Amino acid sequence: MAVVSSAHSTIFSKTSLFHHINGFKRFSFCLHFSSSAVASLSSKKKWRQPVASSMLELGGIKIAKDDVVRDDPTNNVPDTIFSKLGLQLHRRNNHPLGILKNGIYEYFDTNFPNMFHKFDDLCPVVSVKQNFDDVLVPADHVSRSYNDTYYVDSQTVLRCHTSAHQAELLRRGHTHFLVTGDVYRRDSIDSTHYPVFHQMEGVRVFTPDNWEASGLDPTSYAAEDLKKSLEGLARHLFGAVEMRWIDAYFPFTNPSYELEIYFQGKWMEVLGCGVMEQEILKSNGRSNSVAWALGLGLERLAMVLFDIPDIRLFWSTDERFTSQFSEGQMGVKFKPFSKYPPCYKDMSFWINDSFTENNLCEVIRGIAGDLVEEVSLIDNFTNKKGMTSHCYRIAYRSMERSLTDEEINDLQWQVREQVQNKLNVVLR
Ligand code: DAH
């Protein structure tokens, strides 16, 4: 169950591991697909007529629905996730996520003219190696589990963070870059968690001539530059706010930090960052260098900057939402067009050993889609025989219209049936 207060805390920090207790939380080159995925991509092209709606082109790579959603025990990508793959909200200049991305670009362009190379169309289907191994995520890290990550096959995933592109870009010789993209995580359901969201990654590499003149050791030099640059970014986005640096842990940086700002009466995490682990630089052709890296979640920042109360709104095509934002207008406050009443339905069942809340949420989203606002555990007990019962409250609410009783009852019946059949739990 998500207990964090705003959208998608960085999963790799220790604090967010702690928060997410229960099951917690290609660019243009084909190289990144596992060999089986590449084979199926190329062989299918020959004989199958592409169906417009189920064939996507991402970063120059063609992807068909059944390259990503497969009837295979190592695949856990549902149709609802495939349907998000080509949408790239961060590339729409009139969308809050695109406006925020451009606002961050503006900061880097003004302060580091012509320095940072920008990527926002790298393919989200990446190898396990790119997503985890290349950035030193330990073999037993919770984020690698099928419960937390969408696997296309055992060697291929939908990236769960934009850090998946760090190593590849370094190897290609890039030393200053920003990567923006959609990222995918199996998760619980509430107003700040959605299984697809957007991140921006930043990397800056320094060479000995940079730090030698400073009298600082390379790590301190990079850390100082990092802090100065990111404090500037936070001021660019939020104005003259109070800031603090919190020591953090990420597998790919050392030291690692989180930047927090005091905003609207509370401390809020803005981003995770740190000095890149030497091993990543060394493995990717930059032995004599030091670098900083940062990762930020666009939704969590856009929600506070634009006053957007629910993460599902980013996906809304309702004109009453979309018409409120326009290119270059950072921080325009969203005016809710109407608040429709929620409808609550409870369901209780005896769980089994393999039950996870993420699996439950996936089933519910598969049926109710964006009509489900929140799923919360409201009761949990174990009887004398050692059987554990959970009671979940599902809040149904549309952002766009009133739902009828009939419609909700119908959804709830389907939810009950599929929860029982797919999760093998016993309804009470
Ligand atoms: N990849 C991290 C996450 O999704 C965010 C992050 C933290 C990226 C620190 C970085 C970094 O590059 O240095 O949780």
Ligand 1 atom, smallest distance to 162 CA = 1
Query: pTM score > 0.85 for this model?
Result: yes
Is residue 37 included in any domain, yes or no?
A: no
| 411 C-alpha to ligand 1 centroid (Å) | 37
**CATH code where residue 389 lies:** 3.30.70.380
| Whether 217 and 99 share a structural domain | yes
- Nearest 5°: CA angle at 294, between 178 and 129? 80
| Whether 311 and 421 share a structural domain | no
Candidate of 144, 157, 163 to mutate for ligand 1, largest count of ligand atoms within 8 Å of Cβ: 163
| 294 C-alpha to ligand 1 centroid (Å) | 6
Is residue 3 included in any domain, yes or no?
A: no
Q: To which residue do tokens 């670098």 refer?
A: 291
| 273 C-alpha to ligand 1 centroid (Å) | 6
State how far the Cα of 148 lies from the Cα of 161, in Å rounded to an integer. 12
Ligand 1 contact, 177 CB (< 6 A): no
Residue 36 corresponds to which amino acid? S
Ligand 1 atom, smallest distance to 274 CA = 13
When computed from its CA atoms, the radius of gyration of the chain, rounded to whole angstroms, is: 22
Q: What per-residue confidence (pLDDT) applies to 34?
A: 34
Tens of pLDDT along the chain (428 residues) come to 333 334 666 656 544 433 332 222 321 212 223 333 333 333 333 334 444 467 888 888 899 999 999 999 999 999 999 999 999 999 999 999 999 999 999 999 999 999 999 999 999 999 999 999 999 999 999 999 999 999 999 999 999 999 999 999 999 999 999 999 999 999 999 999 999 999 999 999 999 999 999 999 999 999 999 999 999 999 999 999 999 999 999 999 999 999 999 998 999 999 999 999 999 999 999 999 999 999 999 999 999 999 999 999 999 999 999 999 999 999 999 999 988 999 999 999 999 999 999 999 999 999 999 999 999 999 999 999 999 999 999 999 999 999 999 999 999 999 999 999 999 999 99
Domain that holds residue 134: 56-323
Ligand 1 contact, 195 CB (< 6 A): no
Ligand 1 atom, smallest distance to 201 CA = 12
| Whether 183 and 311 share a structural domain | yes
Nearest CA to ligand 1 atom 6: 295
State how far the Cα of 339 lies from the Cα of 52, in Å rounded to an integer. 36
Is residue 6 included in any domain, yes or no?
A: no
| Whether 60 and 175 share a structural domain | yes
Is residue 31 included in any domain, yes or no?
A: no
Is residue 32 included in any domain, yes or no?
A: no
Give the CA distances from residue 301 to residues 101, 227, 387, in Å, rounded to whole numbers and listed in that order.
Answer: 11, 18, 42
**CATH code where residue 100 lies:** 3.30.930.10
Nearest CA to ligand 1 atom 12: 294
| Whether 103 and 245 share a structural domain | yes
Domain count, the chain: 2
Q: What per-residue confidence (pLDDT) applies to 55?
A: 87
Q: What per-residue confidence (pLDDT) applies to 12?
A: 66
Is residue 270 included in any domain, yes or no?
A: yes
State how far the Cα of 269 lies from the Cα of 363, in Å rounded to an integer. 31
Candidate of 250, 271, 292 to mutate for ligand 1, largest count of ligand atoms within 8 Å of Cβ: 250
| Whether 170 and 241 share a structural domain | yes
| Whether 288 and 360 share a structural domain | no
| Whether 230 and 356 share a structural domain | no
